[in-house]
Amino acid sequence: MEVHKLMQKSAKNKPRNIITYDFSTLYTSIPHDKLKHEIKLLVEQAFNGMNKKYVKVTKSKAYWSNTKTPHTFTVTYNTLTHMIEWLIDNTYVTVGNQVLRQTIGIPMGTDCAPFLASLSVCL
């Protein structure tokens, strides 16, 4: 889409600038250590900002809470950061007959890639 068409569509919001990112190179160049560190800070900020100890997850929603209840999957800051770090550290791709562990970057096409790449741009 051309810039003038974008400006027309966004006339109500009066954008001041337009920023673009090359996600094709971003996905493949995110250092895992930096990504894990920054996401850990972001998750910590979210927990502190909500002033809650847990995120409760049900079949239909997730929400913040200070209490644990039986039969509800409850995640703490430590558990959530550990799960994200595990996901980043244990991503594998298949190239031909080889299975390779991703040691830098995030493979495009994985469910978490757009979210992790977007977060890394914001950090």
Greater model confidence, 16 or 114: 114
pLDDT of 6 higher than 80: no
Burial class (CB in 10 A: 0-12, 13-18, 19+), 84: buried
Provide the token pair at 87.
Answer: 């996901």
Residue 60 DSSP code: S
Look at 79 and 3; give whichever has higher pLDDT: 79
Task: Convert the pLDDT of each residue in 15-47 to its tens digit.
Answer: 566 665 554 555 667 788 888 888 899 899 999
Domain that holds residue 60: 3-122
Q: What's the pLDDT score for residue 74?
A: 96
The model scores a pTM over 0.75: no
Kindly tell me the burial class for residue 50, based on how many C-beta atoms sit within 10 Å of its own C-beta (0-12, 13-18, 19 or more): middle
| Domains in the chain, number | 1
Quick: pLDDT tens for 45-91.
999 999 999 999 999 999 999 999 888 999 999 999 999 999 889 88
CA 120 from chain center: how many Å? 8
Quickly state the pLDDT bin for 1 (edges 50, 70, 90).
Answer: very low
pLDDT for residue 98 is more than 70 = yes
pLDDT at residue 110 is higher than 80 = no
